[in-house]
Amino acid sequence: MDYFLELLLGGLTRGSIYALIALGYTMVYGIIELINFAHGEIYMIGAFTALIVASVLTMNGMTGISVLILASVVAVLYSAAYGFTVEKIAYKPLRQAPRLSPLISAIGMSIFLQNYVLLAQTSDYLPFPNLIPVLPFMEPYSQLMGSTELVIVLTTTVVTVILTLFIKFTKIGKAMRATAQDRSMAMLTGVNVNRVISNTFIIGSALAAIGGVLIASHVGRINFYIGFIAGIKAFTAAVLGGIGSIPGAVLGGLVLGWTESFATGYVSSDYEDVFAFCLLVLILIFRPAGLLGRSTAQKV
């Protein structure tokens, strides 16, 4: 029973991270129907930025929670800037192009960013300091769930709630929803579609950076390649929940997290990534609209 609980909580942590990254995929897809392949790399860059900032700060004698906060803030800002720039370079010129063009461009961008970090930093794994402080009240439960894991789950919850409220009630959020529904109609009613798309990339990238800082603390090491697998898995989560839907992304993330956790726990840990890929393939083939998505009629 303890083992089961351990896997359940492990899956929850994992799933929360997937959900955070999946939100970025789902938002971008909802608005411009593009699988932003480079999203995983934005998350990786977020983790790297946080590591660099945290290292510089600790070497200059700073300690404690302020390192976490500063590193996270810088990582979020930088990831957002990268997301914004990537969109301007690789996707904006391709608004009118056939569907496959921006997708190929996105794959190119993803490879570019991976190798940019590889060349400018290192190809080795870098140890990532756990920036999240140990919470004393979690001490008795540390067998089941550490402080880091608790922070991860709580952060995801808070971020999702804020994001949902933001999209529902703010002006930017409303413009985003309008653009997602019908881009040309939104444009006619005075929505600046280019700005909406930029905003979407900025928000999605910022969320990815939060995910990057959290998971790097959780796993304890990073390299330039972490974005690829994380990206695919988060995309799986987004599709699983129904791409374009925010609660769907969270649900998808959790389902994927639990699937992986239980499958590796009870079946075999060798095939950890295979489970995610199989889930992805099965979902796309049998229920491409996802768990919460609606299928739309083909327009002729």
Partner 1 sequence: MDSVLEVNGTTMDFGGLRALHAVDLQVRQGEIVALIGPNGAGKTTFFNCVTGIYDPTEGDIFISPPGGKRRRINGIKINRAAELGMARTFQNVRLFPNMTVLENVMIGRHCRAKAGVLGAIFRGWDTRREEQEIVDHSYEILVKIGLADQVDELAKNLPYGAQRRLEIARAMATEPFLLLLDEPAAGMNPRETEALEELIVQIRDEEKISILMIEHDMKIVMSISDRIFVLDYGEKIAEGTPAEIRENPVVIKAYLGEDVNA
Partner 2 sequence: MKALSEFKKALIISLWFMLLTFPIMVIRVNTIEKVVEWRWRNMAFIGIGSFLLSFVWRYLLGRKEKGRKLAEAGSVEARPFSRRLLDEPRIYRPALAAVTLFAVAFPFLFSSYQTNIMTTALMYVMLGLGLNIVVGLAGLLDLGYVAFYAVGAYSYALLNHHFGLGFWAILPVGALLGVLFGILLGFPVLRLRGDYLAIVTLGFGEIIRLILENWNEFSFGPSGIANIPRPGLFGIQMSLNEATIYLYFLMIALCLFTIFVVNRLQDSRIGRAWIALREDEVACQAMGIDKTKTKLTAFALGATWAGMVGVIFAAKTTFINPASFTFLESAMILSIVVLGGMGSIIGVILGAFILILTPEYLRAFSNYRMLLFGTTMVLMMVFRPQGIVTNVRRIYKFRARGRDGEPSQA
119 vs 114: CA distance, rounded Å: 9
Q: In this complex, which beta carbon is closest to partner 2, that of residue 5 or of residue 89?
A: 89
270 binds, among partner 2, partner 1, none (CB under 5 to 8 A by kind): partner 2
228 vs 226: CA distance, rounded Å: 6
Q: Which two tokens stand for residue 295?
A: 């299928």
177 vs 189: CA distance, rounded Å: 13
Q: Quickly tell me which residue has 């808070």 as its tokens.
A: 158
Q: Quickly tell me which residue has 């961008």 as its tokens.
A: 109
Q: Does 100 bind partner 1 (CB under 8 A)?
A: no
Q: Does 90 bind partner 2 (CB under 8 A)?
A: yes
252 vs 245: CA distance, rounded Å: 10
Q: Does 234 bind partner 2 (CB under 8 A)?
A: no
9 vs 5: CA distance, rounded Å: 6
Q: In this complex, which beta carbon is closest to partner 1, that of residue 63 or of residue 298?
A: 298
Q: Does 298 bind partner 1 (CB under 8 A)?
A: yes
Q: Does 201 bind partner 2 (CB under 8 A)?
A: no
Q: Does residue 249 contact residue 135 with C-beta atoms inside 8 Å?
A: no
Q: Does 187 bind partner 2 (CB under 8 A)?
A: no
Backbone angles phi, psi at 276, to 5 degrees: -60, -45
Only segment of 81-89, 257-265, 277-285, 292-300 that touches partner 1 (CB under 8 A): 292-300
Q: In this complex, which beta carbon is closest to partner 1, that of residue 98 or of residue 190?
A: 98
Q: Quickly tell me which residue has 């950890």 as its tokens.
A: 272
Q: Does residue 2 contact residue 142 with C-beta atoms inside 8 Å?
A: no
Q: Does 81 bind partner 2 (CB under 8 A)?
A: yes
Q: Which two tokens stand for residue 51?
A: 């590591």
Shortest reach from residue 176's CB to partner 2, in Å: 21
Q: Which two tokens stand for residue 213?
A: 């800082």
45 binds, among partner 1, partner 2, none (CB under 5 to 8 A by kind): partner 2
The residue count for binding partner 1 (CB under 8 A) is 3
Q: Which residues bind to partner 2, rule: CB under 8 A?
A: 33-35, 45, 48-49, 51-53, 55-56, 59, 74, 78, 81-82, 85, 89-90, 93-94, 97-105, 107-122, 126-127, 129, 228, 232, 235, 239, 270-271, 273-274, 277-278, 280-281, 284-285, 288, 298, 300
